[in-house]
């Protein structure tokens, strides 16, 4: 599976690079909904190899965050650990977002049947973190079943390509990305992405994975 992810990641990266060059001559017409989350650059697109694709907005009222920071979305609830600061979602595709000691942790939801497969999303996330040679860095991946939920994860450290699709990315060196796709929720897939300086992510790693694995049917 690792080779498959890296192969798709390399292809996705090549497409993104070509589009970025082309867009210098002709700006794209597509309006991306969420430059830091729901766009094909960082969120969970229906077709991650096609930066021109868009994802419909999730149903209104499809998520909620309780006073203690727990987020209920797509029929499941995820509970953050103590010390995380819940923040108002900055964009419509974000069901919840947190500051975890300098690490941005975001929960995305795009609606039933939206967002792409776990393999597509892991490959796209892998393509956004480059090694010293400019190719996607070698990620680590995992899978765990929590009840009826299927959770796929990826972790990669290197030069993170931050920014809008179709535009020149902003390279952030020494950055770690942890991503997770939660499949099997009643309302569709839920996506979690944590990004921050490697030194900040390291002490939060176990908490991030515990947050993802806290997914349980909503009361």
Q: Where residue 198 sits, what CATH number does that domain have?
A: 3.40.1000.10
**CB–CB of 84/69 below 8 Å?**
yes
Q: Annotate 201-218 with three-state secondary structure.
A: HHHHHHHHHHHHHCCEEC
Query: Residue 199's Cα: distance from chain center in Å?
Result: 20
Mean pLDDT of 185-200: 98
Average predicted confidence (pLDDT) for the chain:
81
Q: DSSP letter at 136?
A: B
For the chain, list the strands marked E by DSSP.
Answer: 63-65, 71-73, 76-78, 85-87, 94-99, 104-109, 129-130, 140-146, 149-162, 170-183, 190-197, 216-217
Q: How confident is the model at residue 56 (pLDDT cuts 50, 70, 90)?
A: low
Joined together, the tokens standing for residue 179 give 């991503």
Q: How confident is the model at residue 2 (pLDDT cuts 50, 70, 90)?
A: low
Judged against a pLDDT cut of 60, whether residue 79 lies above it is answered with yes
CA 74, CA 60: separation in Å to the nearest integer? 12
What pLDDT score was predicted for residue 164?
A: 73
Q: Which residues pair with 142 in a beta bridge?
A: 153
B/e letters for 140-171, b = 16+ CB within 10 Å, e = fewer, are ebeeeeeeebbbbbbbbbbbbbbbbbbbebee
Mean pLDDT of 180-201: 98
Contacts of 96 (CB under 8 A, 6+ apart): 63, 65, 69, 71, 73, 78, 86, 89, 106, 107
What pLDDT score was predicted for residue 96?
A: 97
Judged against a pLDDT cut of 60, whether residue 160 lies above it is answered with yes
For 151, the domain range is: 2-217
Domain count within the chain: 1
**CB–CB of 56/44 below 8 Å?**
no
Instruction: Tell me the whole-structure pTM to 2 decimals.
Output: 0.77
Judged against a pLDDT cut of 80, whether residue 8 lies above it is answered with no
Q: Which residues pair with 107 in a beta bridge?
A: 96, 192
Cα angle: 31, vertex 90, 23; to 5 degrees: 25
Joined together, the tokens standing for residue 209 give 């994975």
Q: How confident is the model at residue 62 (pLDDT cuts 50, 70, 90)?
A: confident
């Amino acid at each position: 599976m690792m080779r498959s992810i890296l192969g798709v990641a390399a292809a996705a990266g090549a497409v993104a690079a070509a589009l970025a060059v082309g867009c210098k001559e002709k700006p794209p017409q597509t309006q991306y909904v969420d430059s830091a989350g729901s766009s094909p650059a960082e969120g969970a697109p229906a077709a991650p190899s096609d930066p021109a694709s868009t994802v419909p907005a999730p149903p209104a009222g499809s998520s909620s965050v309780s006073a203690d920071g727990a987020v209920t979305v797509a029929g499941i609830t995820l509970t953050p650990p103590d010390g995380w600061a819940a923040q108002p979602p900055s964009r419509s595709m974000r069901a919840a977002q947190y500051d975890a000691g300098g690490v941005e942790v975001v929960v995305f939801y795009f609606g039933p049947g939206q967002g792409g497969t776990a393999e597509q999303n892991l490959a796209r996330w892998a393509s956004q973190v480059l090694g010293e040679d400019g190719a996607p860095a070698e990620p680590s991946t995992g899978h765990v079943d929590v009840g009826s939920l299927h959770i796929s994860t990826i972790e990669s450290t290197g030069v993170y390509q931050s920014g809008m699709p179709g535009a020149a990315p902003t390279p952030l060196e020494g950055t770690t990305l942890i991503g997770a796709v939660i499949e099997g929720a009643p309302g569709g897939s839920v996506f979690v992405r944590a990004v921050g300086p490697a030194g900040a992510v390291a002490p939060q790693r176990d908490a991030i994975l515990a947050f993802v694995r806290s997914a349980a049917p909503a009361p």
